[in-house]
Amino acid sequence: MTNNVVILTNFRTGSTSFTLKKAEEYNLPYKGELFSHEKPYSIGWLKASENNNWNIFDVLRIGKEKACYKIMPSHFAKTIKGKTNIDTFQIQTILEHADKVYYLYRRDFKAQIKSWLAVRRDGSFGHTGFITNTARHHRATEAEYTQRLVQLHSGSYGKTKEPYKAIMDPDDPVFHSKTTMSIKSLVRELSENYFVMAEIYKRVPGELVCYEDYFSGDQYNPYNREIKWTGEPEIDQYVDTYNIEGLFK
């Protein structure tokens, strides 16, 4: 029986839609970014506010709680004496005890970078341009919240009259600051996540899925969004440096 399905992935790979689809396929509760610092979901006997990574792992392993969830390697980043490292041991341990493991990546690294820059700049993570008939409120059950997410990410309930629109300026000072919002920092986060994913992929068997191949044909319903850049951000150096698909070969 498949009770524990995990997707090791990166930001802006269609991971919410993919995880929701897998939750439906395996008839499992959708738990989103279960190991993120935001701890959005309760699981087993743990309330969301009480979760830490090893407690969640114990609930999945010992309590055998049903769950379909996604992991970004940066969820396991630790900073010691000013140096940040990702705890690959924790990630590997979690994946080794799952019933099914997926590795979801995006072939077009340039498009992924631009998408990551845009949503980090304006915080439009939930603005898909799709509508929902489920109100968002603090008393919503997880089932109600999941139903809302399905509609917001699949477009099953239709599109908004106007798409979500945003204009991005590559010369925005935020993108060139010495912060985690700079282009360099945001690209580093994506690339480090991919390096860890490729490393774990060689240790723990799983199904490798490409965003562009999976979300195609009838399976592809693009978000109703229009993001326009006033110019091209200077990211070609990163695109030319990293062959994302090649990391998994």
How confident is the model over 148-165, as pLDDT tens digits?
999 999 999 899 999 999
Q: What is the mean pLDDT of the chain?
A: 91
Report the pLDDT value the prediction gives residue 112, as an integer from 0 to 100.
97
* One-letter identity of residue 237: Q
Which residues, other chains included, contact 71 with Cβ-Cβ below 8 Å and sequence gap of 6+?
6, 7, 8, 9, 33, 34, 35, 91, 94
Q: How far apart are CA 220 and CA 249, in angstroms?
A: 26
- Interior CA angle at 146 toward 142 and 152, to 5°? 145
pLDDT at 202 over 80: yes
**Domain segments of the chain as ranges:** 4-247
pTM of the model: 0.93
SS3 153: helix
Residue appearing with tokens 């929701």: 20
What would the pLDDT profile of 86-97 be if each residue is shown by its tens digit? 999 999 999 999
The DSSP bridge partners found for residue 77 are: 86
Dist CA 73 CA 247 (whole Å)? 15
One-letter amino acid of 33: E
3-state secondary structure of 24: helix
d(CA 24, CA 243): 32
In this model, does residue 63 exceed pLDDT 90? no
Name the E strands within 26-148.
30-32, 67-71, 77-80, 83-86, 100-105
> In which band, very low, low, confident or very high, does the pLDDT at 138 lie, cut at 50, 70 and 90?
low
pLDDT for residue 144: 86
Q: What confidence score (pLDDT) does residue 40 get?
A: 60
Closest CA to 116 of 189, 165, 167, 172: 189
- Percent pLDDT > 90 in the chain is 73
Q: Is the pLDDT of residue 243 over 80?
A: yes
